[in-house]
A and B are shown apart, each in its own frame.
Chain A
Amino acid sequence: MTDLDDELKRRYRELATEEPSAVIDAAILARARRRRPWTARWAGPVSIAAVLVLGIGVSLRMQLEQPGIETSAPETRSMESSSGFGLPRTPPPPVPATKDEARVDAFTASPPAANAPETMLAQKRVAPAPVAKPKAAPQELKERVAASPALEANVAPTQSAPQVTTSTVATPPPPAPAAAAPPPAALGRAFSDDRAKSQSSPAAPAAPAIAFAPNPQRPEPAQAPLRAKREAESDRAASSAGLAADSGAGVRALQKSVVESDPLRELERIAKLREAGDNTEADKALAEFRKRFPDFRIPDATWERVRPR
């Protein structure tokens, strides 16, 4: 049996000598060489698709992060009212200088940590403030600020649309640490940019420093949910910072630091003293104000309220 198998195999080997023709060989090998690996075949389309996807993605992200660039002023305002800060996220485009702007420029020399929305946003993004805002502070500040609704009209007579609500007070950064705080010049520049924008466009938002009073033209019920939301956000921010500063001393210190760092609030306090007839205290406060903010130019309307009697 094995012999027969071997014989069959040997005979078959003798028989099986056919080969394909050279023409077929050449055709097949040429076709094999023309074939490109799938990576080479798909490299072009895949790279084009990747570029398109990245481009679209970056564009969408830029639009989402900077909605003020391509939207009109009313839309920006509505977006701001729905945001946590009620502030423009991007610096406004440069506008011609006005008389009021020159007045605001004087403010750039002082470090208004609580007045620069850009700074607030930047601090919130880059480095969380190590000192948490106490929970009680927003309520007290709101009550205090709500008691002075005329501030807006006195300080910003140019109808700069100050729609920032009292919740803005609830979210000032605490006294900024040196590492996270930008230079005063940057803070002032941000503030002046916002002012310039607000004055060039009546519908544009104003900086929070000049609008701590609730806007009487805006319906309260519409603001109530938004305010509650903002308060909840600020509460979350405070709790996430991990520092509970619920003591009354801490609240008062924070209040004081916030008020003292804001010349407009200080002026408002002096105006209240004048209204209350406490001219001696008002004169002292005004003198102190002059020391602390020597370059600050007091608006005319405010000056009428705080000037020595």
Chain B
Amino acid sequence: MGGTDEQLMLAYAGGDAGAFEALYSKHKGPVFRYVLRSVKGRAEAEELFQDVWMRVIEAAARYTPQAKFTTWLYTIAHHRLVDHWRAKGLVLVSIDEDDEAAAPEPAAPPSAEPHRIVEAQQTLDRLSAAIAALPLAQREAFLLHHEGDLTAAEIAAATGTNEEAAKSRLRYAMNKLKDALGDD
């Protein structure tokens, strides 16, 4: 199934289920990780992830390619997460999240030395913890940039803020995560 994301979405709106499968297989991982790192657990993330795609399916008939498909997709995901946070009574700044349970074990190459494996795992754990420790707005900006491949302007559009604020959030998040990696 060829074509841009926007063409695929239009094709799906016209009744082509195969176009949706192509879109889903392309974006399911980034969207899932964006949601997973924005909530506490995997079960919660899967529920939200499913809701996001259901909204995509329901909104397909109204879809018009006014912006990038990914911007539209992550806008839906962002709104679903905001609904979730409001339902949970969470504030936007949260530094107590611990995603260790959600972080999978990376597969180690057979030839790797044991101490290297442990060291790499420790680095990833620190990065995961640093991401979880980011304020929600900064974490969201980082995830949208790295998972959704959105620019600062697109992040601003998806999260309903201005571009300068999105740039600032992204810069703060990157600095904090680099600091976490630099502690090696």
CA A108 to CA B14, docked complex, whole Å? 65
* A11 with B102, Cβ < 8 A, contacts A18-B33, A20-B28 known: no
Contact with B along A15-32 (1 / 0, CB 8 A): 111111100110111011
Please give the distance in Å from B60's CB to the nearest CB on chain A.
7
| Contact assessment for B124 and A14 in the assembled complex, using a CB-CB cutoff below 8 Å | yes
Which residues of chain B have C-beta atoms less than 8 A from A12's C-beta? Answer: 127, 131, 146, 177
| Contact assessment for B147 and A16 in the assembled complex, using a CB-CB cutoff below 8 Å | yes
Flag the segment in B49-57, B80-88, B155-163 that touches A. Answer: B49-57
Which residues of chain B have C-beta atoms less than 8 A from A8's C-beta? Answer: 127, 174, 177-178, 181
Nearest-neighbor residue (CB-CB) of A7 within chain B: B181
CA A246 to CA B46, docked complex, whole Å? 92
CA A144 to CA B108, docked complex, whole Å? 119
| Contact assessment for A11 and B29 in the assembled complex, using a CB-CB cutoff below 8 Å | no
Please give the distance in Å from B178's CB to the nearest CB on chain A.
5
Contact of A32 among B17, B36, B42, B174 (CB under 8 A): B17
Within 8 A of A (CB), among B124-168: 124, 127-128, 131, 146-147
Report if A5 contacts B (CB, 8 A). yes
Contact with A along B104-123 (1 / 0, CB 8 A): 10100000000000001001
| Contact assessment for B15 and A40 in the assembled complex, using a CB-CB cutoff below 8 Å | yes
Interface residues on chain B, number (Cβ under 8 Å): 40
| Contact assessment for B57 and A9 in the assembled complex, using a CB-CB cutoff below 8 Å | no
Contact of A28 among B50, B61, B106, B131 (CB under 8 A): B50
Which residues of chain B have C-beta atoms less than 8 A from A16's C-beta? Answer: 33, 146-147
Which residues of chain A have C-beta atoms less than 8 A from B60's C-beta? Answer: 35
Q: List 12 A-B contacts (CB under 8 A).
A: A8-B178, A9-B146, A11-B124, A12-B127, A15-B106, A18-B103, A19-B29, A20-B29, A20-B49, A28-B53, A35-B57, A35-B58
Which residues of chain A have C-beta atoms less than 8 A from B178's C-beta? Answer: 4-5, 7-8
Contact with B along A24-46 (1 / 0, CB 8 A): 11011101110111111000000
* A21 with B46, Cβ < 8 A, contacts A33-B17, A37-B14 known: yes
Contact with A along B44-70 (1 / 0, CB 8 A): 001001100110011011000000000
Contact with A along B30-49 (1 / 0, CB 8 A): 00110010000010001001
Which residues of chain A have C-beta atoms less than 8 A from B77's C-beta? Answer: none
Contact with B along A87-111 (1 / 0, CB 8 A): 0000000000000000000000000
Please give the distance in Å from A35's CB to the nearest CB on chain B.
5
| Contact assessment for B103 and A15 in the assembled complex, using a CB-CB cutoff below 8 Å | yes
Which residues of chain B have C-beta atoms less than 8 A from A15's C-beta? Answer: 103, 106, 124, 127-128
Report if B20 contacts A (CB, 8 A). yes
CA A35 to CA B17, docked complex, whole Å? 9
Contact of A4 among B17, B24, B147, B181 (CB under 8 A): B181
Contact of A24 among B12, B50, B131 (CB under 8 A): B50
| Contact assessment for A32 and B24 in the assembled complex, using a CB-CB cutoff below 8 Å | yes
Report if B13 contacts A (CB, 8 A). yes
CA A40 to CA B13, docked complex, whole Å? 11
Which residues of chain A have C-beta atoms less than 8 A from B12's C-beta? Answer: 32
CA A85 to CA B123, docked complex, whole Å? 100
| Contact assessment for B15 and A14 in the assembled complex, using a CB-CB cutoff below 8 Å | no
| Contact assessment for B29 and A37 in the assembled complex, using a CB-CB cutoff below 8 Å | no
CA A14 to CA B181, docked complex, whole Å? 13
Which residues of chain A have C-beta atoms less than 8 A from B123's C-beta? Answer: 11
| Contact assessment for B13 and A11 in the assembled complex, using a CB-CB cutoff below 8 Å | no
CA A36 to CA B20, docked complex, whole Å? 13
CA A33 to CA B20, docked complex, whole Å? 9
| Contact assessment for A37 and B124 in the assembled complex, using a CB-CB cutoff below 8 Å | no
Nearest-neighbor residue (CB-CB) of A11 within chain B: B127
Contact of B106 among A14, A19, A21 (CB under 8 A): A14
Contact of A37 among B15, B24, B49 (CB under 8 A): B15
Which residues of chain A have C-beta atoms less than 8 A from B17's C-beta? Answer: 32-33, 35
Which residues of chain A have C-beta atoms less than 8 A from B3's C-beta? Answer: none
| Contact assessment for B54 and A28 in the assembled complex, using a CB-CB cutoff below 8 Å | yes
Which residues of chain B have C-beta atoms less than 8 A from A33's C-beta? Answer: 17, 20
Which residues of chain A have C-beta atoms less than 8 A from B131's C-beta? Answer: 12
Report if B182 contacts A (CB, 8 A). yes
Nearest 4 pairs of A and B residues by beta carbon: A37-B15, A32-B20, A33-B17, A20-B32
Nearest-neighbor residue (CB-CB) of A1 within chain B: B178
* Other A-B pairs, 5, CB within 8 Å; known A15-B127, A33-B17: A14-B106, A15-B103, A18-B36, A37-B15, A38-B61
Nearest-neighbor residue (CB-CB) of B28 within chain A: A20
